[in-house]
Structure 1
Amino acid sequence: MRKNMLFMAYWELNPQKDIREVGKVAVELRKSGKWPVDGVKIVSWYMTPSTPFWGTIVYEAENEESVFKNLLAWLNAMPGIFTTYKIAPVLPVEKAIPLALL
């Protein structure tokens, strides 16, 4: 059985989008159960108070397809919401350091 993977995303909100509208979309996605999608668990989710607003999120996901669907939920709900969205698999530092020493 494959173990769930951790993914970290860095995102920047489009400054042309009203932050109140973004907030409404976030509430609706969560309330409707459209986000996070099945197979994805939010581990941490942070946003900065600086503009343009940006933040990070860490997901635990069953597979890469779930991570892709998770992003699409936002893009479909509010096209153009992000100016930047980067995501990659991650390891906790305490697991990464021993690998770096091999």
Structure 2
Amino acid sequence: MEHTEMTVGDLIDLLSACDRGAPVRLAMNPFFPMAHRLTQVVQADDGRGQPVVYLAEGQDPDSQLGPVPPEVAVALTWQGPVQAPPRRARRTARRADGQ
């Protein structure tokens, strides 16, 4: 099975539907989803003469922002939707004299 990578054109098409003033975040690691602040875009050669673009977080210690919101992890299919367990009837406490 051939792996298809997202191209710069694909990224531009997807970003064109977004608010131009919104900050950009990287969602990393589906098993421990964290958000990172995007600070750099670098184009380089992939070693075979083909251009490749890298999106990177900065070296600032505040570049990692913490866990991604649960709805983002669900939208990325990294986590399934979680529903609260059904409520059970509350138990009543018994008095020490058995009443």
Using structure 2 for the length normalisation, give the TM-score. Answer: 0.30
TM-score calculated relative to the size of structure 1: 0.30
Structure (1 or 2) with the greater helix fraction: 1
